[in-house]
Amino acid sequence: MQKNDPDLWQGELPRPAQDGHKYDRGHLIVLGGVDMTGAARLTSEAAMRIGCGVCTIVSAPECKDIYLKGAPHVLFEPYEQLRKFPLHLKDSRRTAFVMGPGAGQHEDEALRQAVLGAVATRKPAVLDADALNVFADYPERLFSALNEHCVLTPHEGEFARLFPDLDGSREKRAAAAARQSGAVVLLKGAQTVIATPQGDLVVNDHASPWLATAGAGDVLAGMVGGLMAQGMDVPMAAAAAVWMHGEAALRYGPGLTAPDIIQELRGVLADLL
C-alpha cells in the first residue's frame, strides 16, 4: 500500500509536444444525460482543463441546444439511440470515454447495453454514478465485460450497491472489488482508495471537506478521463487526478463549488509540469 503523492506519478503526466496538435492530446467522449445536463458539462470542462485536446459530449438530439450553450470548446454529437452510444467511439482518434455522470436511469437496459458495448472497445474508460447503478441487480454482466483499461469511481453508496457482499476496511473492500471486477476501483471519500486487479493499493488523504459538494465527482471523472485520453497509465491517471482534485480544493478553500476545482487546476498543473 502506498500513500498518494506526486512522486508516484508526476513523471508520467502528459506534456504537450511543441509541434503537436489537438488530437495528439487525446479526444475524450462523454455520455451526456438528458435531465442532469450539468454533470457531463463539468466532466468535459475538467477533462479539457487537465490537458485533453478535444472533448465531445454525446447525448440525445433534444439536448443539443442545452449542451451547445455550454463551454464553446466542448463539442456535441447526437446519438440515434442510447444503446448505440458505442458507435461514437469507432474513430481511432477518440481515445477514451466517460459514462455515468448525470446519465439517469430512465432507460436502464439501453444504458446497460451502451456501457457494455463501449467497454468492449477496450478503450480507456471511466464508469461513474448511473453507469454503475444500473448494474446493481446485474453485477456479473458488468464484471464479465470489464478489463484493466476501466476505472470504476463509486462513492460508498454506489459501491455498496455494486459490491453488497464485501466488508472490512475501505482498503480491503476496494482491493477485493478490483479483483472481483477486473477493473481499477477508485473508492471515493475523505480517504480515497485506488485499487488495481493486480493488488496495488494507493491511499489518498490529500483532500478538503469542501469537496462534499454537488458536481465534485463529475469533475473528478473528467480529470481521470482526460488524463487517460492523453495516454497516461490507467492507475496512475486515477491517482494523479485524485491528488490534483484534492489540491485544487485545498487551494481554493471555503466556499468551494465544483467549477472552482476546474479553475484551480491551472495553477496545480503549472506547479507539477
C-alpha 190, offset from chain centre = 18
Query: According to the model, what pLDDT value does residue 107 have?
Result: 83
Which residues carry a binding-site annotation? 39, 102, 155, 188-192, 217-218
pLDDT at 24: 81
Q: Residue positions in the annotated binding site for (6S)-NADPHX?
A: 39, 102, 155, 218
Q: How high does pLDDT run on average in the chain? A: 96
Which pLDDT does position 266 carry in this prediction? 97
Picking from 24, 39, 173, 188, the residue whose alpha carbon sits closest to that of residue 103 is 39
Q: What does the pLDDT look like over 89-119, one tens digit per residue?
A: 999 999 999 999 999 877 899 999 999 999 9
Please give the sequence-ordered ranges of beta strands (E in DSSP) within 153-260, or none if there are none.
Answer: 184-187, 192-195, 201-204
Q: Which domains does the chain have, with CATH numbers?
A: 2-6+23-139+211-264 (3.40.1190.20)
pTM of the model: 0.97
**Res 104: pLDDT:** 86
Contact status, residue 204 vs residue 4, Cβ threshold 8 Å: yes
Which residues contribute to the annotated binding site for AMP? 188-192, 217
Per residue in 19-78, pLDDT tens? Answer: 888 998 999 999 999 999 999 999 999 999 999 999 999 999 999 999 999 999 999 999
Distance of CA 77 to the CA centre of its chain: 19
Which whole number is the average pLDDT over 206-221? 97
